[in-house]
Structure 1
């Protein structure tokens, strides 16, 4: 029974993790801006955020947060605003006017790379500001806690497994984007990706703000 519960949890977690969302969009964008390190540190920030959610779930804090309408709404709107803010920055980078020969000049000079600290922070805030993570951990984890096991230990263990799986998946995304970096960072292609990513982040932020629990 224990093995079956673990396998079921791993299967559900894998489906949730591979479904693209705000964390994936932020990781791909930061891998484009900061190379492999930028993407991996973003993935690390996301996974640390999930570890925080797991710890908070183990302590019962997440259940209180989900039950409190004002706190839940404040977190939801703050997270949505952060995604919209990132999206607007991406759109500004995509639409920034340039002079003649801009592509040649941009290709000739080294691009400013996203720092590891900034990448980590964006991944962390993106995940902590996503109210779906609170609902996910509060509703899903209890279903896979084996009977007779201490709730704190079981919640924390399952949450950390989910966090490590997320890191592995997003880090693989980052490596793939980094390998294609020379092509993807060509000025016109980079601006196109920035535009698409920016629009996606804004759409995700607006969807989070508008949707019900």
Structure 2
């Protein structure tokens, strides 16, 4: 059991370290404040747990079995990613001007707690790959002889909690660089980069077969 747990946490680390839309969004929101970044993490990990629970009940098999259902989710996910990307690019554009104007713009675009949480949750739930991955990932670590459903839900909860800690380090690190990132030009450039990445990821998801 301890060996299985260590292997599971190691796999969770590799999964979290792989660059993806969630990582980009978390860093983007952390540019505004640690609160926004952390609430985005909580929203994302709520999605991770929900997909794990769905996989535990075997419902994600329906998604993989239905090409139409998968394609619908893929298009929805692409729209969500493109929406976040366009939003980031607009924020960067509004931040142009004098330093004072830029600071006011960043304050005006700082999201509420619910919006940050909802953004992280929506991004995760709109990604069909997250559902398919949960179905293929979690069963590998169910201990032999253990009840399948409770074990899968427990692993999903552990996976989400672990990633809260992991992505929390990203939020903390961005917060530590506050003096540098508070410069209007630097923050605007980072918004442009994150917006462009989210936009490209959305287009790629839309074009995938």
With the length of structure 2 as denominator, give the TM-score of the two structures: 0.92
Matched with 2:191 is 194
Matched with 2:54 is 56
Matched residues in 2 for 1:140 and 1:90: separation?
Answer: 32
Matched with 2:2 is 3
Residues 1:3 and 1:97: Cα distance change in structure 2 (over 3 Å)? closer
Residues 1:144 and 1:92: Cα distance change in structure 2 (over 3 Å)? same
Matched residues in 1 for 2:25 and 2:105: separation?
Answer: 25
Which aligned pairs between 1:101-120 and structure 2 lie closer than 5 A? Answer: 102-107=98-103, 111-112=107-108, 113-120=110-117
Matched residues in 1 for 2:35 and 2:172: separation?
Answer: 9
Matched residues in 2 for 1:188 and 1:152: separation?
Answer: 50
Describe the SS at the equivalent of 2:107.
coil
Matched residues in 2 for 1:97 and 1:145: separation?
Answer: 49
Which shifted more, 69-78 or 104-113?
A: 104-113
RMSD over aligned CA atoms reads 1.8
- Give how far 1:92 is off: 1.5
Say if 2:168 is the partner of 1:182: no
Deviation per residue, 1:32-73 (Å, 9 max, x gap): 12x111000000001111111111111111121222111111
Matched with 2:146 is 149
Matched with 1:167 is 164
Say if 2:101 is the partner of 1:91: no
Matched with 1:39 is 37
Which shifted more, 6-15 or 23-32?
A: 6-15
Deviation per residue, 1:141-196 (Å, 9 max, x gap): 11111222111011111111111111111111112112222321321111101100
Structure 2 unaligned residues grouped into runs of 5+: none
Q: Quick check: 2:74–2:127 contact (8 Å CA) kept in 1?
A: yes
Matched residues in 2 for 1:164 and 1:21: separation?
Answer: 19
Matched with 2:203 is 206
- Give how far 1:210 is off: 2.8
Structure 1 unaligned residues grouped into runs of 5+: none
Matched with 1:18 is 17
